[in-house]
Amino acid sequence: MKQTRASRRLRPPAFEYHGAASGAHARELYCEAVSLASLASRHGTPLYVYSAAMIRARLDAFRRAFHSIPHTLCYSVKANSTLGILRLVASAGSGFDVVSGGELQRVLRVNRRAASKVVFSGVGKTAAEMELALRSGILLFNLESASELKLLAATAARLKKPAAIAVRVNPDVPAKTHPYISTGLHQHKFGVPIPQARALYAEAAKQPYLKVAGVSVHIGSQITDVGSFQAALERVADLVRGLRKQGHDIRYIDAGGGLGISYEGAQGNFEKQIAAYARAVLAPLRGLKLHLLLEPGRSIVGPAGVLLTRVLYRKTNRRKRFLIVDAAMNDLLRPSLYGAYHEIVPVSRKSRETEIADVVGPICETGDFFARDRRLPVVSEGDLLAILDVGAYGSVLGSNYNTRGRAAELLVNGAKARVIRRRESVQDQLRLEKL
Per-residue pLDDT of the chain (435 residues; tens, 9 = 90+): 333 333 345 787 799 999 865 544 578 999 999 999 999 999 999 999 999 999 999 999 999 999 999 999 999 999 999 999 999 999 999 999 999 999 999 999 999 999 999 999 999 999 999 999 999 999 999 999 999 999 999 999 999 999 999 999 988 765 544 444 444 345 456 679 898 999 999 999 999 999 999 999 988 778 888 888 998 899 999 999 999 999 999 999 999 998 988 888 666 688 999 999 999 999 999 999 999 999 999 999 999 999 999 999 999 999 999 999 999 999 999 999 989 999 999 999 888 899 999 999 999 999 999 999 999 999 999 999 999 999 999 999 999 999 999 999 999 999 999 999 999 999 999 999 999
Residue 31 among the catalytic residues: no
On whether the CB atoms of residues 366 and 375 are closer than 8 A, the answer is no
Residue 172's pLDDT is: 73
Q: From CA 154, how far away is CA 207, in angstroms rounded?
A: 9
Write down the pTM of the prediction: 0.92
| Residue among 68, 206, 364, 431 flagged as catalytic | 364
- Furthest C-alpha separation in the chain: 76
Residue 185's pLDDT is: 43
List the one residue out of 300, 279, 244, 370 whose CA is nearest residue 86: 300
Residue 22's pLDDT is: 53
Write down the CATH number for the domain with range 66-296: 3.20.20.10
Residue 1's pLDDT is: 32
Phi, psi (rounded to 5 degrees) for 233: -70, -30
Q: Residues spanned by CATH 2.40.37.10 within the chain?
A: 9-51+303-430
Residue 11's pLDDT is: 80
Number of H helices, E strands in the chain: 12, 23
On whether the CB atoms of residues 27 and 410 are closer than 8 A, the answer is no
Q: From CA 183, how far away is CA 206, in angstroms rounded?
A: 29
Residue 391's pLDDT is: 98
The CATH architecture annotation of domain 9-51+303-430 reads Beta Barrel (2.40)
Q: How many CA atoms lie within 13 A of 98 on its CB side?
A: 29
On whether the CB atoms of residues 97 and 75 are closer than 8 A, the answer is yes
Residue 362's pLDDT is: 98
